Amino acid sequence: MKLVQKGFTLIELMIVVAIIGILAAIAIPAYQDYITRGQVSEAVTLGGGLKSPLAEYGADKNAWPTLLVGPTATPSANQLNATLTGKYSAVASTIAGTYPAGTITVTMSTGKAGSSGSNTLTFTTANGGSAWACGNTLADGITTAGTSTNIDAKYLPNACKP
């Protein structure tokens, strides 16, 4: 009489569990880095979206504006409507520097990149907004890389990496 196996042996189940454990040990940190890069991309989008309006305002007024929160708010003579806050980051309401040089500062407030509360991403110009340097990179008219961006380089987009 022939016996037919009806299921898996204990050793086969243990091997499957070990393989799943190894895959999880590799996948979870990679996924967390992926999520953090997504959170940092929000900061890049918020700051990057201000580059063109700031360059236009600066060229017209020969000065940097104060940023005003909200698309429905009524700006005064030296203000510019802008979206300054996101889920993970916020843009400073003032542009550091005197026209034509200026720096937009975006602070990561939550998430892994903002866990210390002081991680910032900067966009810097030296020529009134014709060219902007993201992070610690160089751009037209900027001779030295900035040091204000202190987000880990592995989370920054390629355009912002030193």
Q: Which residues pair with 74 in a beta bridge?
A: none
Kindly state the tokens that stand for 138. 């160089």
| pLDDT class of 17 with cuts at 50, 70, 90 | very high
Q: What is the pLDDT of residues 22-52, one digit of tens each?
A: 999 999 999 998 998 998 899 889 888 888 9
- As a whole number of angstroms, the distance between CA 149 and CA 147 comes to 6
Q: What is the pLDDT of residues 80-91, one digit of tens each?
A: 888 788 888 888
Q: Determine what percent of the chain is predicted with pLDDT higher than 70.
A: 90
